[in-house]
Structure 1
Amino acid sequence: MNIPVSSGLSDIEQALGALPLFPLPQTVLFPGAHLPLHIFEPRYRAMVRDALETHRTLSVVLITDEKPIDEHGHPSIAQVAGVGVIVDHQELPGGKYNILVRGRARVRLHELPFVPPYRRAAAEVLTPPQDDLSQADLSALVSSATAFTALVRERDRTFDFRLPRDAPPGLLADLCAFHLVLDARERQAILETLDPRARARRVAEVLAMQRLTLAPGERDIN
């Protein structure tokens, strides 16, 4: 299955015909994010070895239902996922790995017939439109992210998230979702929101609600 990609994503093109899938129950990978992973299951150790020897690419995909539903005992997974490249790795005793994956794109997955030991899919890159945010939407996103980050730092001094300077609005929304949005299904919904204006608004609203939920005494009174 040949699926064209933009020239800026040529590093992942080789993998898209049979993209290795790494299903996880609480993790959503966004473009631009860096995700550390500890790989210990034999099937995923094999997946990482294969990736390191070839295109270094894999997809982290959210498990939507933990109950096995197919003849191989595989759980249901989301149809839209993040695809990333292994940018650093450490091989550990016993064949385990620590890897660092950099998110590169959103993809729609078309799962292929299972060939052990791990799942694969043909992947179609989803390209968001390039619409700019209004100043109001951008300010709301930055304000919500800054306020929620400050709240988290009050409770955990080791927490460190800084808004990247001069980042495109879509990337800014993605990084805020990856680092700050607590609920995995909400992060998945944000990943599936291609329009950057709608995505930024959703992230801003979610972060504002999280702040009110965690610190209800700080609710503004008009």
Structure 2
Amino acid sequence: MAQGYVKAADLPQVIPVFPLAGAILLPRGQLPLNIFEPRYLNMIDDAMGADRLIGMVQPSGGAPSLPALSPVGCVGRITSFAETSDGRYLITLTGVSRWRLTSELPVQTPYRQIRADFTPYEADLTPDDGAEDVDDRAALLDSLHRWLERRGMDVDWDAARDAPAEALVNSLAMALPFEVAEKQALLEARTVADRLTALTAILSIDAADPDDDAQTTRQ
């Protein structure tokens, strides 16, 4: 159960959203954010005074000042908050549930708000460890090893081998610097098992491509 939410109807129909390319949030995943734009500082202020829920969504084209929004995002609850001496907010969002965008609302707030349908992703409210197959995990870790080796990077392999499937797959999907479309595909994978398969495929393709330069981590 995520933060006391048992079913889709427990979540608000209207949520504020933070469009950010290259950043996805997944259920029970933790996403640290450095907030400095005035409109998003205002959004955090409002969220802290209410239910602490913020929707993360990737832009999908359009004008940089008002990009179109991807059809699927994830709502998270602010579970850590700190303010810096120069007025920035350092927060951590913990993923609650994905949603499908129903409509964007005309609002007076400086930040955007949408009407979200959580029903298609109600299963997100219950931990999903349906990807514990040893062969699947071995294939993922093998692809990850080759992908990291090409970039001169490493991870705590003991922790990767011992982590619950959902935590491992979702943390890698969120943290690794994939392209926006790849991130969105990982976000929209129906189950952890589906996401594990997609993640393994992305890592294998990137690791095998001799023309693929190391990607730059997005903020």
TM over 0.5: yes
Match of 1:123 among 106, 116, 123: 116
CA shift for structure 1 position 94: 5.7
Consecutive unaligned residues in structure 2, runs of 5 or more: 213-219
Match of 1:10 among 4, 7, 14: 4
What residue number does 2:134 align with? 135
CA shift for structure 1 position 22: 0.4
Structure 1 CA distance for aligned equivalents of residues 156 and 41 of structure 2 = 30
Q: Specify the SS of the correspondent of 1:163.
A: helix
Distance verdict in 2 for CA 1:87–1:136, change over 3 Å: same
CA shift for structure 1 position 194: 0.5
Amino acid at match of 1:139: A
What residue number does 2:215 align with? none
Match of 2:33 among 34, 37, 41: 37
CA contact 2:22–2:178 (8 Å) conserved in 1: no
Structure 1 CA distance for aligned equivalents of residues 61 and 27 of structure 2 = 24
What residue number does 1:77 align with? 69
CA contact 1:59–1:83 (8 Å) conserved in 2: yes
Q: Please identify the structure whose Cα radius of gyration is greater.
A: 1
What residue number does 1:114 align with? 106
Q: Specify the SS of the correspondent of 1:55.
A: coil
Q: Specify the SS of the correspondent of 1:8.
A: coil
Q: Specify the SS of the correspondent of 1:199.
A: helix
TM-score of the two chains, using structure 1 as the length reference: 0.76
Distance verdict in 2 for CA 1:119–1:195, change over 3 Å: same
Q: What root-mean-square deviation, in Å, do the aligned CA atoms of Structure 1 and Structure 2 show?
A: 3.0
Amino acid at match of 1:143: D
Bigger shift: 99-108 or 126-135?
126-135
Distance verdict in 2 for CA 1:173–1:56, change over 3 Å: same
CA shift for structure 1 position 24: 1.1
Deviations 1:105-127 (CA, angstroms, capped at 9, x unpaired): 22222234221221112323314
Q: Specify the SS of the correspondent of 1:141.
A: helix
Work out whether 1:96 is the aligned partner of 2:94.
no
- The count of aligned residue pairs is 202
- Percent identity, please: 27
Structure 2 CA distance for aligned equivalents of residues 76 and 181 of structure 1 = 22
Aligned 1:1-222 pairs, distance under 5 A? 7-10=1-4, 16-67=12-63, 74-93=66-85, 95-115=87-107, 116-125=109-118, 126-128=121-123, 132-133=130-131, 134-152=133-151, 155-156=152-153, 162-163=159-160, 165-167=162-164, 169-213=165-209
CA shift for structure 1 position 35: 1.7
Amino acid at match of 2:17: L
CA contact 1:19–1:123 (8 Å) conserved in 2: yes
CA shift for structure 1 position 80: 0.6
What residue number does 1:220 align with? none
TM-score of the two chains, using structure 2 as the length reference: 0.77
Q: Specify the SS of the correspondent of 1:10.
A: coil
Distance verdict in 2 for CA 1:34–1:151, change over 3 Å: farther
Moved over 6 A (4+): none
CA contact 1:145–1:180 (8 Å) conserved in 2: no
Amino acid at match of 1:44: Y
